[in-house]
């Protein structure tokens, strides 16, 4: 046999599909976890469609979850990203939602997992994936994997509610909740459709618990000149954020309406030691709730552990809660948040 001077190149360098995101259910089918080829992951509990974990490629957790959080469906989860619908807090004077428990039933109902979808950027002359093709097919595969995302869809409808919830809120609806994981961001998107023959009113909010290193060195920008309702005062007061930077040094429970708000809304940046840690972008959600229970409030909550956990969490919660959202028959309400690691806004 003639030993050829030019042999075929190794199989490892031939073009091929990039590694795909992996989606797996827990052993008891109570949660679903998606993991990108680059290592990032997100876990969603079917109870409440609550995001209970979001980790970067190094395995560092980005959300705060109480050590005493109930994950068995016995009560709403303390931490992660619980969903608030169709009422924020309680509304004893609102005819349609006055009988509902605090924050409604979305966070305490079992959602159906509808499936996953993936996407990746198409390589162009300016993308790393395209550049990598010129030198290494394996490099192109790795770059394409880095551009990949995975979306998990969950569904809830009036027909799947508990009998108690249907009696307290007898309106037909359909909700689709999507959780999209990218290498440097997490997006949660809720679409609610009125399937009833009557109009009804609702509020929605994404009750996001961000994990911070130290609340005393944490600050927030993007709320300057915003009006806010301070729920820690008695009576509740309305004020304006005069400082460009908000710091937390006591119990904080404020409902902000950022100035100049629009669908392409003002970015809210959470900083640690003056360095951007998270940037929260909102779509069609005109309010932002900022919450930290601080010392005494944390002590009084049985499911808040450790009691000093307030030092490592900050709730920045996009929502539409300042007024009631009216949905006529057939109308849909859509709202989304994207949490970007660091200071990126695009």
DSSP 161-217: S-HHHHHHS---EEEEEEEEE-SSEEEEEEEEEE-SSS-EEEEEEE--EEE-S-GGG
| Amino acid 187: pLDDT | 98
**pTM confidence score:** 0.89
pLDDT tier at 262 (50, 70, 90 boundaries)? low
Does 166 carry a binding-site annotation? no
What are the structure tokens assigned to 47, written together?
Answer: 């109870």
For residue 63, give Cα distances in angstroms to 227, 319, 330, 336.
27, 18, 35, 17
pLDDT value at residue 18? 76
Q: Is 78 annotated as a binding residue?
A: yes
- The Cα 309–Cα 117 span in angstroms is 35
CATH of domain 20-341: 2.70.98.10
Return the DSSP state at 320: E
Residue 252: both structure tokens together: 């904080």
Of 4-18, 131-145, 225-239, the range with the highest mean pLDDT is 225-239
Give the C-alpha separation, 166 to 2, whole Å. Answer: 80
Given the DSSP bridges, would you call strands 22-25 and 31-35 parallel, antiparallel or unpaired?
A: antiparallel
Q: Is 102 annotated as a binding residue?
A: yes
Assigned token pair, 25 = 């259910």
pLDDT tens profile 70-120: 999 999 999 999 999 999 999 999 999 999 999 999 999 999 999 999 986
- Report the catalytic residues: 207, 317
The mean-pLDDT minimum among 47-51, 133-137, 205-209 falls in 133-137
The 10s digit of each residue's pLDDT in 282-312 is 999 999 999 999 999 999 999 999 999 999 9
* CB 215 within 8 Å of CB 311: yes
């Amino acid at each position: 046999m003639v030993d050829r001077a030019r042999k075929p190149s190794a199989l490892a360098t031939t073009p091929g599909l990039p590694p795909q995101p992996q989606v797996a259910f827990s052993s008891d089918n109570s949660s679903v976890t998606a993991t990108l080829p680059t290592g990032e992951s997100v876990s969603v509990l079917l109870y409440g469609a609550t995001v209970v974990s979001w980790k970067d490629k190094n395995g560092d957790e980005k959300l705060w979850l109480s050590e005493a959080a109930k994950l068995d469906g016995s009560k709403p989860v303390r931490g992660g990203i619980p969903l608030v619908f169709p009422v924020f807090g309680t509304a004893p004077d609102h005819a349609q939602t006055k009988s509902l428990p605090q924050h409604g039933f979305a966070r305490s109902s079992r959602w159906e997992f509808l499936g996953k979808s993936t996407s990746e950027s198409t390589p162009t002359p300016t993308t790393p994936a395209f550049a990598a093709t010129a030198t290494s097919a394996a490099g192109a595969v790795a770059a394409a994997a880095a551009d990949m995302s995975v979306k998990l869809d969950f569904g809830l409808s009036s027909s799947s509610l508990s009998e108690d919830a249907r009696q307290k809120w007898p309106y037909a609806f359909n909700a689709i909740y999507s959780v999209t994981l990218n290498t440097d961001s997490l997006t949660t998107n809720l679409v609610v459709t009125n399937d009833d023959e009557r109009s009804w009113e609702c509020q929605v909010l994404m009750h996001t618990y961000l994990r911070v290193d130290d609340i005393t060195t944490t600050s927030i920008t993007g709320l300057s000149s915003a009006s806010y309702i301070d729920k820690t005062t008695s009576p509740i007061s309305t004020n304006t954020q005069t400082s460009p930077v908000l710091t937390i040094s006591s119990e904080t429970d404020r409902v902000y309406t950022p100035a100049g708000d629009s669908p392409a809304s003002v970015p809210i940046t959470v900083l640690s030691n003056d360095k951007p840690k998270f940037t929260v972008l909102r779509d069609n959600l005109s309010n932002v709730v900022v919450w930290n229970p601080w010392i005494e409030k944390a002590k009084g909550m049985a499911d808040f552990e450790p009691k000093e956990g307030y030092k490592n969490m900050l709730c920045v919660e996009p929502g539409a809660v300042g007024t009631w959202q009216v949905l006529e028959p057939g109308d849909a309400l859509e709202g989304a948040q994207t949490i970007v690691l660091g200071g990126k806004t695009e």
